[in-house]
Structure 1
């Protein structure tokens, strides 16, 4: 039987944290002489609801089982999403519930798709909250809560397994709370460093904070209508570097900080990630340079590298309209929507490690055909990959493909054209932001009907929570008593 008391306790703490984070936007509203009430009231309502849930009787030392772990993750994200809608609704900048839901889900899942048609006229305090929703969702606020679980008398390993992105969640420390603290220290540290770098390169402190929050979250919300194209080449190169870092497994980043270079270079996923960026940059730079004769080679290289890293890490910043280059480049960029960066990073998508498992196992299958009696194990980072992991990866890939296909067909049945249907489905499921068709890099999602936005909001959520975490709740055996 599912124990709902620890679930209520965790959600109550999360709501208090989210409400407090809302109030960090109040100084920006005050500085820019804007209405303070939306953020103040939204924060008060969120904290108040969290306080009420905290009153639910709770006994320390209760273990969280798998069922409670998955429920906590999904229900916590839903609670954060509905709380995150309040500033938009209270301020009136997004008065429609479907639009507010879409914008909040896009923020919390770090997708970066938006319904705001003119970002630069919006209140600065609310734009900061919009950026902060991505930073909250970037690592997953559940991991932050795991760090304080010892104070609640709850063990958090099941939560970490349900929330951590990718097929594996390497532990940096034997205690899961210590792991979460280390992850967040790296996350916060890189965000602070990027704020300083962007400020030194000419961004205003306000814009530097916003873009640092959304870059390290691989989210892509910007304070400018033109996104990253509005800034200097130096700023774009800085964003490229930190987007790339945000797409690296945080375990690898931790090992780098510890100068354990031998362990870092053993990561096959990191090598594949880096090689993919280099290979695609060379190919697309050449094609862009020849396709747009008016561009110089440096700009062709910068635009190509920026869009490759932005799409591969599922950040979604835009420095150029890649759909206007050539059909082949558009197709390559569309394929990038299905890749994702490294597992254990803040990026969305399928993740490089799953592709590695798939291609390496497929290659080894040819060897098994020639030598049917031989035992040919799959190895990654010099370790044998267990059969259950291979099965999980193949099931994930098949389920991901099926969701994309059926979702695209469903969108087409609702009236979208072919290119827009597959573009919207791919970018929302992969948590990327820009797609192709009428939801490309220079478009947004404001024109879509409300029911389509609600559907795509659900797609973004299951993509962010790695599909199984959400869909397992819809299976009958999840709710059985035994």
Structure 2
């Protein structure tokens, strides 16, 4: 019998943490004189009471989680916390339905960046900050999950990093808890540096903090409907792009750099492949814009570079409406959003390492076909890739596209056109943000979609953030039988 008490105790602690976070936007609304500040206090009281009751009801239970409990807690946190985080938005003067509020909260915590809010420029400052806080918390949550939880659960090839995350990490710091603490400290430091630089290039302190939080989290929530393009500033875009890239690299490698392994980042195959792919795509888009759209080389590199970085890492900022660049660019951007950044970062998507494992495995299989008596062993960072990792990655990729097609079909049944349905599911599954078309493109919002479609997309964001298997395993009878 699965003991749920440790799960509920830990879940209650997470809810309390989120409730305390609501005090910050309440104080911001109060500081700016906005009348919406009591909504955060009401939501804080309701959610805090709920969290405390959960902890009191399960007090004294065994705090050590086994494998099944870790699965259940991971999924429960990413379902319940958006439900709690939606309360201030549902209570606010924005007058969002609970469906819209939950969609927005799920988009925030999963660092997707899709929004249903129209008129961000006039939205309460507390709500704008709350959205940024959700993405910031979701970003560090993703990093810790990728380092401590997903490798243990052997999800989608993440077991490839089990030894790397713990054996190698323990040479840096003695325990996984300390590693998480050190990474959190690093995350805070990056955010603070980004905010300072944003202010130095002309942003107000409020805008600088919001964009710093959502840049390092590769989330993409902005304070304006025009996104980062509202500033029309090369300096702002460069600062944001720099910290988006920082957030897209494995945080465990930053710790290794700080502890003396100065070349740890540059020796990592995943990082090198990611940067090479990014640079290649930027050059392709820049050439396209110069040849077919008449951009100067400076404009092409500026707009092409920023938007490729934003989409590939799953951030979802837009410095311009790239939907107007033509079918080639739109199609390229659509496929690029599935790539993602590095494992162990705040970015999303399929992740670079899975493509590396797939290509190295395919190369070994082809060589084996040509030379049946030869021995060909695919390697990653100098180590052989285990069979279970190869099978896990292949299963992940197949399941990814099966889910993409199945959910596209379901959402199309709600009356949504195929382009919107397909790109909406794609951007939700890859946790990117904007889709394609006039409705959910970089200049649109998800507000016009039917409620059923929004709930389906919320579920899609969840399974995309949790690497598919962590959610789907709950639907197997074996899990509940133990």
Give the TM-score taking structure 2 as reference length.
0.93
Aligned residue-pair number: 470
Taking a change above 3 Å as real, the CA distance of residues 7 and 142 of structure 1, as seen in their structure-2 partners, is farther
User: Residue by residue, what CA displacement relative to the aligned partner does 1:317-352 show, whole Å, maximum 9, x if unpaired?
Assistant: 001222211211111111112100000001111000
RMSD, aligned CA: 2.0
Could you tell me how far 1:375 is from its partner in structure 2? 2.6
Which stretch of structure 1 is more off in the superposition, 246-255 or 278-287? 246-255
Structure 1: how far apart are the matches of 2:320 and 2:137?
Answer: 27
Could you tell me how far 1:314 is from its partner in structure 2? 0.2
Taking a change above 3 Å as real, the CA distance of residues 242 and 142 of structure 1, as seen in their structure-2 partners, is closer
User: Contact between 2:6 and 2:61, CA under 8 Å: does it hold in 1?
Assistant: no
Structure 1: how far apart are the matches of 2:142 and 2:91?
Answer: 24
Structure 1: how far apart are the matches of 2:434 and 2:148?
Answer: 34
Which stretch of structure 1 is more off in the superposition, 29-38 or 252-261? 252-261
Structure 1: how far apart are the matches of 2:445 and 2:190?
Answer: 29
User: Contact between 1:338 and 1:426, CA under 8 Å: does it hold in 2?
Assistant: yes
Give the TM-score taking structure 1 as reference length.
0.93
Check if 1:473 corresponds to 2:467: no
Q: Secondary structure at the match of 1:446?
A: coil
Taking a change above 3 Å as real, the CA distance of residues 163 and 92 of structure 1, as seen in their structure-2 partners, is farther
* Other-structure match for 1:396: 396
* Other-structure match for 1:82: 83
Q: Secondary structure at the match of 2:346?
A: coil
* Other-structure match for 2:291: 290
User: Contact between 1:291 and 1:326, CA under 8 Å: does it hold in 2?
Assistant: no
Q: Secondary structure at the match of 1:300?
A: helix
Structure 2: how far apart are the matches of 1:160 and 1:55?
Answer: 31
User: Residue by residue, what CA displacement relative to the aligned partner does 1:90-110 show, whole Å, maximum 9, x if unpaired?
Assistant: 214143111111111101111
Could you tell me how far 1:27 is from its partner in structure 2? 2.0
* Other-structure match for 1:100: 101
Structure 2: how far apart are the matches of 1:175 and 1:259?
Answer: 18
* Other-structure match for 1:373: 373
Taking a change above 3 Å as real, the CA distance of residues 163 and 17 of structure 1, as seen in their structure-2 partners, is farther
* Other-structure match for 1:153: none
Q: Secondary structure at the match of 2:57?
A: coil
Structure 2 segments unaligned to the other structure (5+ residues): none
User: Contact between 1:64 and 1:158, CA under 8 Å: does it hold in 2?
Assistant: no
Q: Superposition pairs for residues 43-442 of structure 1, below 5 Å? A: 43-59=44-60, 62-140=63-141, 143=144, 161=152, 167=158, 168=161, 170-171=165-166, 172-173=169-170, 174-231=174-231, 232-293=233-294, 295-437=295-437, 438-442=439-443
User: Residue by residue, what CA displacement relative to the aligned partner does 1:99-123 show, whole Å, maximum 9, x if unpaired?
Assistant: 1111111011110000011101111
Structure 1: how far apart are the matches of 2:419 and 2:151?
Answer: 37
Could you tell me how far 1:89 is from its partner in structure 2? 1.4
User: Contact between 1:165 and 1:346, CA under 8 Å: does it hold in 2?
Assistant: no
Q: Secondary structure at the match of 2:416?
A: coil
Could you tell me how far 1:479 is from its partner in structure 2? 0.6
Taking a change above 3 Å as real, the CA distance of residues 345 and 98 of structure 1, as seen in their structure-2 partners, is same
Could you tell me how far 1:444 is from its partner in structure 2? 1.0
Structure 1: how far apart are the matches of 2:234 and 2:205?
Answer: 18
Structure 2: how far apart are the matches of 1:263 and 1:298?
Answer: 32
Structure 2: how far apart are the matches of 1:17 and 1:201?
Answer: 33
User: Residue by residue, what CA displacement relative to the aligned partner does 1:264-308 show, whole Å, maximum 9, x if unpaired?
Assistant: 322111011000111111111011122322x33212111001011
Structure 2: how far apart are the matches of 1:96 and 1:178?
Answer: 41
